[in-house]
């Protein structure tokens, strides 16, 4: 009997309720005398009630799940390419890949708001680290280009150009960016060709893996005690409000940091 009635589950709940009403009205007083026993009628009514219950459960909105608890991590902080005050109460470390389109999305969308509201106001120190992914063949040399530009005091300027152009990487692009930034081409090119920073870039990637970060962009937001950053992971090109909340939460715990209005 259930097998014959199951297709009725596609009916609207009101239809099933109507059938229940009809069955309850007519089965007891006459239908059973026409070849349908009371037991059979009761069985049909029970099955219809079960179908009605299933339909009500399907139409009931699912219970909202609480957001996942951010994963806490710790990592060592040393000599870094950083923006913001050295004594900023909150620190953000970003692991980036210059060939990553999602890193570009963060750089052009969320990052300017973080810089304006928190880095430039002295509330956040922003640190860049490399995570050149193996499946991005140009990422390693792009990271090298940024570090070679740093030799001439132009790390962040080169970083901004690389981050804004993930689809325009390669020797010609690096040479053009170097000219645009007024770099001395000889030392810059020699630096890239020497693979001077490749080991450091790969060590940065190993550090990311050590705290469970395998994709870009990924971030650690928290506070520094001595030379250790204790914070939470934020994975992916999240929207500005995600970072704003994390920053304000940590600012609220610091005696010298007051949450911005």
Say if residues 112 and 228 touch (Cβ distance below 8 Å). Answer: no
**pLDDT over threshold 70, residue 82:** yes
Q: List C-alpha distances in Å: 135 to 3, 161, 208, 225, 250.
A: 52, 21, 16, 35, 35
Q: What is the pLDDT of residue 36?
A: 67
pTM beyond 0.95: no
**Mean pLDDT value across residues 200-213:** 94
Q: Is the dihedral of CA 108, 235, 141, 154 positive or negative?
A: positive
Q: What is the structure's pLDDT at 45?
A: 76
CB 261 within 8 A of CB 121: no
State the pLDDT at residue 61.
65
pLDDT > 70? residue 34: no
Q: What is the pLDDT of residue 48?
A: 77
Percent of the chain with pLDDT over 70: 79
Percent of the chain with pLDDT over 90: 68
Q: What is the pLDDT of residues 215-225, one digit of tens each?
A: 999 999 999 99
3-state secondary structure the chain: CHHHHHHHHHCCHHHHHHHHHHHHHHCCCCHHHHCCCHHHHHHHHHHHHHHHHHHHHHHCCCCCCCCCCCCEEEEECCCCEEECCCCCCEEEEEEECCCCHHHHHHHHHHHHHHHHHHHCCCCEEEEEEECCCCCCCCHHHHHHHHHHHHCCCCHHHHHHHHHHCCCCCCHHHHHHHHHHCCCCHHHHHHHHHHCCCHHHHHHHHHHHHHCCCCCCCEEEEEEEECCEEEEEEEECCCCHHHHHHHHHHHHCCCCCCCCCC
Q: Domain locations in the chain? A: 2-59, 72-251
pLDDT, tens digit (0-9, with 9 covering 90-100), for 57-66: 666 666 666 6
Task: Give the residue-averaged pLDDT of 141-153.
Answer: 97
Asked whether the beta carbons of 5 and 43 are under 8 A apart, the reply is no
Average pLDDT over every residue of 131-152: 96
Where residue 238 falls (left for φ over 0; alpha for ψ -120 to 50; beta otherwise) is: beta
Q: Which CATH class is domain 72-251?
A: alpha beta
């Amino acid at each position: 009997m259930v097998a014959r009635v199951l297709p009725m589950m596609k009916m609207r709940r009101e239809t099933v309720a109507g059938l229940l009403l009809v069955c309850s009205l007519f089965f007891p007083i006459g239908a059973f005398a026409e070849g349908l026993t009371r037991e059979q009628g009761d069985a049909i009514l029970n099955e219809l009630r079960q179908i009605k219950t299933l339909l009500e459960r399907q139409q009931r909105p699912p219970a909202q799940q609480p957001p996942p608890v951010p994963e806490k991590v710790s990592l060592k902080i040393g000599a870094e390419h950083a923006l913001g005050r050295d004594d900023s109460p909150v620190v953000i470390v970003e692991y980036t890949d210059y060939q990553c389109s999602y890193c570009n999305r963060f750089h052009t969308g969320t990052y300017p708001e973080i810089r304006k509201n928190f880095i430039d106001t002295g509330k956040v120190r922003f640190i860049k680290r490399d995570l050149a992914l193996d499946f991005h063949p140009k990422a390693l040399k792009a990271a090298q280009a940024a570090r070679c530009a740093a030799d001439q005091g132009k790390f962040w300027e080169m970083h901004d150009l690389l981050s804004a152009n993930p689809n325009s990487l390669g020797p010609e692009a690096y040479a053009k960016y170097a000219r645009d930034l007024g770099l001395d081409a000889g030392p810059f090119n020699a630096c890239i060709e020497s693979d001077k920073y490749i080991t450091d870039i790969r060590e940065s990637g190993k550090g990311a893996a050590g705290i469970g970060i395998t994709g870009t962009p990924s971030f650690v937001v928290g506070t520094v005690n001595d030379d250790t950053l204790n914070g939470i992971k934020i994975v992916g090109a999240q929207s500005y409000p995600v970072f704003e909340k994390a920053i304000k939460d940590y600012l609220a715990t610091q005696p010298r940091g007051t949450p911005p209005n």
